[in-house]
């Protein structure tokens, strides 16, 4: 029995309207193929559309999933390869900052609804995430440090350790007026 499959046909060439990529996604091979075409707002009943695309994602053990995408950029400014890369990059925000906010601060469960209060809480949460990232970069094994470790370091007994992140390294040479 063959341990590896050989391709009978070579992979398709990338064109301005067709792009594909095979990459690791959470430890599994994922194949993503994007086929785009120019469109008008009248044709798709969506204002400002210049291009539409179908993105087919297939993880090894799951059924293929097809998603429709719309953009206001014409094909001359956004070809299929760039659109495929941009689509992948959009999840970086959700997996980075927003996941930290959801996990450590339970932002999705927050019941505050007043706009000013939401803004103030958002600034405080993002500031604490920034402090955590700076604190983690100063640790011996930063990959093994979590927000729980950071919160423990901010405990009453150790309150000075995280606050070192907030003060300047050297005081200003002249006193402030």
Of 100, 132, 150, the residue at which a domain comes to its end is: 100
Same domain, 55 and 88: yes
Distance, in Å, from the CA atom of 38 to the CA atom of 42, rounded to the nearest integer, reads 12
Measured CA to CA in angstroms, residue 14 lies from 59, 81, 148 at distances of: 21, 8, 46
Do 23 and 8 touch, CB atoms closer than 8 A?
no
Say how far apart CA 35 and CA 63 lie, in whole Å: 19
pLDDT tops 80 at residue 128: yes
Shared-domain flag, residues 83 and 30: yes
Domain count, the chain: 2
> pLDDT band for position 1 (50/70/90)?
very low
Is residue 2 scored above 50 in pLDDT?
no
82 with 35, same domain: the answer is: yes
Domain assignment of residue 4, yes or no: no
Domain that holds residue 133: 110-163
pLDDT, tens digit, 9 for 90 and up, residues 26-78: 778 899 999 999 999 898 899 999 999 999 999 888 899 999 999 999 999 99
Residues 128 and 151 in one domain: yes
Predicted confidence at residue 133, as pLDDT, reads 84
Q: Which of 53, 82, 100 is the last residue of a domain?
A: 100
Bigger pLDDT: 102 vs 20: 20
Out of 74, 100, 126, pick the residue that ends a domain.
Answer: 100
Same-domain status, 56 and 92: yes
Residues 139-150 pLDDT 10s:
888 777 887 788
In a domain, 57, yes or no: yes
């Amino acid at each position: 029995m063959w341990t590896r499959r050989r391709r009978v046909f070579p992979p398709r060439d990338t064109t301005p309207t067709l792009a594909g990529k095979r990459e690791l996604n959470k430890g599994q091979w994922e194949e993503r193929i994007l086929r785009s075409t120019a469109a008008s707002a009248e044709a798709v009943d969506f204002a400002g559309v210049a291009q539409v695309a179908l993105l087919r994602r297939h993880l090894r053990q799951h059924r293929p999933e097809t998603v429709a995408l719309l953009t206001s950029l014409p094909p001359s400014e956004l070809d299929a390869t760039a659109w495929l890369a941009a689509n992948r990059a959009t999840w970086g925000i959700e997996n980075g900052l927003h996941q930290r906010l959801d996990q450590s601060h339970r932002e999705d469960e927050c019941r505050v609804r007043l706009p000013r209060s939401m803004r103030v809480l958002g600034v405080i949460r993002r500031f604490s995430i920034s402090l955590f990232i700076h604190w983690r970069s100063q640790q011996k094994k930063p990959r093994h440090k979590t927000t729980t470790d950071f919160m423990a370091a901010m405990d009453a007994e150790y309150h000075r350790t995280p606050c070192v992140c907030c003060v300047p390294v050297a005081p200003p040479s002249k006193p402030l007026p």
